[in-house]
Amino acid sequence: MNTFLRNGLLMLAAGAFIASCADYNVTDDFTAQPDPAFSEPYKDLAPVKSYIDRNTYPNMSIGATLKIADFNKQELAHAAAVTNFDNVSFGTSLMSGTIINSKGVMNFLDMMDLLTHMDEIGGEVFGSPIFANANQADGWLNMLTAPIEVQVDYVEGKSVDYTTMTTFDGTVDKGSASIVKYDGENALKISTASNVRIIEGFEVDPNAKYTITFWAMADKDASYDITFSGNKITGTGPNGRWTFKAGKWNKVVVEAQSAPDETEGYLRIENSRSAVIYIQKVEVGYYPDNHRQQTAQEKTDTINYAINTWCDGLMKINAGRINAFDLIDEAIDDKAILENGYYDLKHSTTSIYWQDVLGSENYAPAVSRVAKAAYEKYDGDPALLKFFISESGLEDNKKMESLNYWVKIWDANGAKIDGINAKLNLTYSEDPAKQEANKASLDNLLTNLASTGKLIRLSNFDIKYQNASGASVAAKDITDAQRQQLADYYGYVIKSYMNKIPNDKQAGLCKGNLADTNDPVGLWAVDSKSKDWVRTATYKAFCDALSGK
C-alpha cells in the first residue's frame, strides 16, 4: 500500500462510511493492496472520530498533527489523518519562521495547496501559532528593526609627518626602523623583514570606515602586507600583498575597518625582504558609523507594521477557512519570577520578542486585535473564530497559575482569548507508585484547566512507556501486554478529559504522532518489511474511550 492517488480519500456519503484502507484508495479502476491493519482483533473497528457521541459532546474533536509536506504527499499519513480525525494541525509548518524569508517575502504555496485540498474533502485545519518567540521570522524582524542609515561627514583624524622628526619612538613589532635622511628629507626607514606601526595611538570604532593615506618610496620594487587595527587588509599584488614601483614617491591609500573587538588604532607595515621602505607622511581620516539605533517609537511602529503585514498575508490566504488558531505560543518563562511570585513572560536582549516591544500586558490584546481584524477582512466569520494560548509544562501548578494570571490581565485589556491549548508531556510507568503520580498530575492539570472557564484543548497527545526501573521501552521492543497497559492509559486520559472538562468547554485532543516513532506512541505500528501501518491496541483504546466505554 505504497501508492496513493490525489482523490483516493475517505468520503462519508449517504449515511455510510468506507473504513478499509483497501477501499479508501479506490479511484476509477485503481485498487490498493489489502492492508494488514485489517486483521483480528481490530478488523471491524470504524474510523476513530466516528465513535464520538456528537449529541452529548458537541464540541469534542480529535485531531492529528502532521508535517505539511507529509500531508500534501497524500500518502499513508494523509490517509490516516483524514479518515480518523476531525482536524489536522501542522506544527511549525504554518508559522512565520517557515513562511517569511529574511527579505520579507512570504511563501504560502504549501498552505494554498493544503487549504485547497481541505476544501475538496471537507477537512478542517487547526491553525499554527500566529505569534511566538521560537520559529518566528527572525531574519525578517532583524532586517526591519536594524539600525537606520544616516548621513555623516568625513572626519580628519591623526597625522604624522616624519620629515619633521629626528628620532622614531613608535612601535616596532619585528625588525628595525629609524629616522634617516632620504631623497633630501627626513623619512621613516623600515628595514626588510620588519613589522612597524607607521601610525598609532588613536581610538577606533569597528563600525567606522577609515581611510589611511601615506607616501612611500623604495630603491627597489616593494612588496609588503598591511594590518589595520587587528584586521589584515588585502592588497592588489600577488598573494594579496601591497606593492609599488621603485624610484618615486607613491601615494598609498588604504580603505579599512578595524577588527570587531579592537579599540586601539594603528596601521602596521609588514615588510618583505624585497626592499627597504621609506615613509614620509601618514594621515588618518574616517567616516563615522552611519547608522543609528531605532528609537523606541520607531521600533514600535516597525513591529506594528510586521504584525499587520504578517496577519494580513496569512488571513488573505486563509480566506476564512481556518477558524481556530493558537494565537500565542509558549510565552511563559519559568525561570523569571515577578515580585508577585508569578512567572514573567519571556524576554530577550538578542532577539526580537513581540512582548518586548508591545509591552507584556499589551502583547495578547495587540496581536489578537490585528489578527481578528485581518481574519474578518478576508471573509472570516467572527462567530466561528477562536484564539488559544498554547503553553507547555502546565502540570507545574505555578506555571499554570502564572498563565492564568497573564490571561486575566490580557482579558482585562481587551484581548480575544477563547481557550487554552495545553501541550502534554505524558509517560506511562510500570512502577505503580510513579504511575499513580502520573495520573494524579494529569487529573490536577485537568482540574486547573477547567477552572479557567476557557475552552480547553490538549495537544502533543503522545504517551511514552517506561519500565519499572525508569528506562524507556522502544516500539520495536514493546510486548503485547505492555502495549495494552499503554493503551489503557491513553483511554484513561481521554475519559478523564471528557469527564473533567465541561462539555461546552471541550475543544478536543490532538495526537502528536499517528504511528510509532522510536517510542510506541502510535495508534499504528509500522510493519518493518512492508512499511504498512498496522492498528495497535491504542487504536482500540481511542475508539472505546471516545464512545464512553
Q: What's the pLDDT tens digit per position in 187-200? A: 999 999 999 999 99
Average pLDDT over residues 364-379: 98
Tell whether omega for the bond before 206 is within 30 degrees of 0, i.e. cis: no
Strands (E), 272-331: 277-287, 291-292, 324-329
Our CA dihedral for 170, 176, 181, 185, rounded to 10 degrees, sits at -40
Q: Is the pLDDT of residue 18 over 50?
A: no
**Cell, residue 281:** 607622511
State the pLDDT at residue 10: 29
Q: How many helices (H) and strands (E) does the chain have?
A: 13, 29
Cα separations (Å) of 326 from 181, 331, 364, 419, 469? 79, 12, 11, 9, 37
Instruction: Say how many CA atoms lie within 13 Å of 464 toward its Cβ.
Output: 15
State the pLDDT at residue 461: 98
Of the candidate ranges 38-52, 292-306, 343-357, 426-440, the one whose mean pLDDT is the lowest:
38-52
Our CA dihedral for 138, 141, 143, 148, rounded to 10 degrees, sits at -140
**Cell, residue 17:** 462510511
State the pLDDT at residue 40: 62
Judge residue 14's burial from the number of C-beta atoms within 10 Å of its C-beta, 0-12 exposed, 13-18 middle, 19 or more buried.
exposed
Q: Is the pLDDT of residue 11 over 50?
A: no
Q: Which helix (H) or strand (E) holds 511?
A: strand 506-511
Q: Which helix (H) or strand (E) holds 21?
A: helix 21-24
Distance CA 130, CA 387 (A): 10
- pLDDT-based confidence at residue 182 (cuts at 50, 70, 90): very high
Q: Is the pLDDT of residue 38 over 90?
A: no
Distance CA 542, CA 549 (A): 10
539-542 long-range Cβ contacts below 8 angstroms, 24+ apart:
539/42, 539/45, 539/48, 540/41, 540/42, 540/45, 540/487, 541/487, 541/488, 541/490, 541/491, 541/494, 542/48, 542/51, 542/62, 542/490, 542/491, 542/494
Q: Is the pLDDT of residue 4 over 70?
A: no
Q: What's the pLDDT tens digit per position in 381-407? A: 999 999 999 999 999 999 999 999 999
Average pLDDT over residues 260-273: 96
- pLDDT-based confidence at residue 19 (cuts at 50, 70, 90): very low
Distance CA 348, CA 354 (A): 10
Range of 16-20, 472-476, 530-534 with top mean pLDDT: 472-476
Average pLDDT over residues 192-219: 96
Tell me the average pLDDT of the chain: 91
Distance CA 369, CA 385 (A): 12
- pLDDT-based confidence at residue 29 (cuts at 50, 70, 90): very low
Is residue 208 within 8 Å of 256, Cβ to Cβ?
Answer: no
Of the candidate ranges 18-22, 135-139, 366-370, 488-492, the one whose mean pLDDT is the lowest:
18-22
Average pLDDT over residues 132-141: 96
Backbone angles phi, psi at 155, to 5 degrees: -115, 125
State the pLDDT at residue 387: 98
Q: What angle do CA 328, 331, 333 make, to 5 degrees?
A: 170
Is residue 454 within 8 Å of 408, Cβ to Cβ?
Answer: no
pTM for the model stands at: 0.80
Nearest to 11 by CA among 83, 97, 61: 83
Nearest to 421 by CA among 87, 122, 116: 87
89 vs 20, higher pLDDT: 89
State the pLDDT at residue 528: 84
Q: Is the pLDDT of residue 339 over 70?
A: yes
State the pLDDT at residue 34: 36
State the pLDDT at residue 157: 95
- pLDDT-based confidence at residue 314 (cuts at 50, 70, 90): very high
Q: Is the pLDDT of residue 316 over 80?
A: yes
Instruction: Characterize the bridge pairing of strands 155-161 and 277-287.
Output: antiparallel
